[in-house]
Chains A and B, each alone.
Chain A
Amino acid sequence: MTDKLSHIWVYLSASPLLWLAMTLLAYQAGFWLYRRHGLHPQLNPVAIAVVLLVAVLKLSGTPYQSYFDGAQFVHFLLGPATVALAVPLYNHIGHVRRMLLPLLAALLAGSATAIVSAVGIGWALGASPATLLSLAPKSVTTPIAMGIAEKTGGLPSLTAVLVICTGILGAIMAKPILDLLKIRDEAVRGFAVGVAAHGIGTARAFQVSQLAGAFSGLAMGLNGLVTAVLLPLLVRPLGLG
């Protein structure tokens, strides 16, 4: 019996099916908890799924690469989902046009704040140069941030993790911060979350309202562009080059 079970395990753990199914299952579990508690920001479904999956992988002694062989199918959808952001953006384009100037100024201010403050705080607390370079693009969406880290000399896979932690933190902290600052306009709220917390913030914004989601998606795309251009120029002045 145990033989049979271990045989099944060996067979399944080598196929993409197992970890693809586990990824969806872990996320469903996270999302179920999140929804049961009225979309409470602290029960972020990504955070719950990641913790569950890392625990299962560690306990079963499965290397990340075997996991990713299955999970890559989910990862791949980031591409078409990024393209799909054009749709809510277009549907709210009138609103975007009316706010164009404040929007662009906020984008530049937010993008520079994200880079400089992450590197500054990390440096002050003694983070290593490779960590600092991986921290710098933490507010932009995973594929862009990994590309930037590769160019500037950070560790792309560490960057991906820091980006996702940032997204989760942003999704958790946005509501209390924006409430504290008495910011009520859904467009402004969405945009701020998108600049700071890319796709995970955007996912959270869409769950709150379509308008917040559209502005968040716009911010995420624009911040990706700005950071990709700005960061390589800032590496030297920040003393990282």
Chain B
Amino acid sequence: MLGSITLLLLFQLAGEALVQLLDLPIPGPVMGMLLLLLALFVRGSTPQPLNATADGLLQHLSLLFVPAGVGIMLHLARVADEWLAIGAALVGSTALTIAVTALVMRGLSRPGAKERRR
């Protein structure tokens, strides 16, 4: 548990450093994810404690968005002024994105592959 948290933080640190060093447009944690993925490939398997820690963190991933979400209180006036445009854009665009992504992916998958993993 402690070991795998340290590992995750170290990969994040390496990601942040690499992004700064190469002046990349992506955030450090995403680079850290790619580096960890690479490391797992090289190792050939996932260590069991890391599996458990990742599961624990990801099970409640949505908790981590709460503090930033509460930031809506800073923007209540703007949201009230433009609620129709903002609301319609969020609802319409999110629905469209889900539909387009799913249809393109299914359309290009081989027919046999569709029902395999239910």
Contact = CB atoms under 8 A, between A and B. Distances in A.
Interface of A: 23-24, 26-27, 31, 44-46, 49-50, 53-54, 57-58, 64, 67-68, 71-72, 74-75, 77-91, 95, 98-99, 101-103, 105-107, 109-110, 113-114, 117-119, 121-122, 125-128, 131, 135, 138-139, 142-144, 147, 151, 155, 157-158, 160-167, 169-171, 173-174, 177-178, 181, 183-189, 191-193, 195-197, 199-200, 202-204, 206-207, 211, 213, 217, 219, 221, 224-225, 228-229, 232
A160 B71 contact: yes
A170 B54 CA distance: 23
B93 A114 contact: yes
A27 B117 contact: no
A185 B40 CA distance: 26
Interface of B: 5, 8-9, 11-12, 15, 25-30, 32-34, 36-37, 40-41, 46, 50-51, 53-55, 57-75, 78-79, 82, 84-86, 88-109, 113-118
10 closest residue pairs by CB, A with B: A110-B101, A102-B108, A71-B67, A106-B105, A125-B85, A203-B62, A82-B29, A87-B54, A127-B85, A192-B102
10 contacts: A83-B33, A84-B57, A86-B34, A87-B46, A87-B54, A102-B108, A117-B93, A161-B74, A169-B94, A188-B109
B33 A95 contact: no
Contact of A64 (B74, B79, B95): B74
Contacts of A118: 89-90, 93
Nearest to A68: B67
Given A53-B66, A90-B41, A113-B97, 19 more contacts: A27-B63, A64-B73, A74-B64, A79-B12, A80-B29, A84-B53, A86-B36, A87-B40, A106-B104, A118-B90, A122-B86, A139-B97, A165-B72, A188-B102, A192-B99, A192-B101, A199-B65, A221-B34, A228-B26
Contacts of A135: 86, 89-90, 93
B105 A191 contact: yes
Contact of A162 (B32, B33, B90): B90
A58 B74 CA distance: 11
B102 A181 contact: yes
Nearest to A195: B101
Contacts of A185: 106, 109, 113-118
A114 B95 CA distance: 9
Given A90-B40, A139-B94, A177-B95, A206 B58 contact: yes
Contacts of A139: 93-94, 97
A194 B35 CA distance: 20
B57 A142 contact: no
Contact of B100 (A82, A113, A225): A113
Nearest to B61: A203
B69 to A, nearest CB: 4
Contact of B99 (A78, A142, A147, A177): A177
B71 A106 contact: no
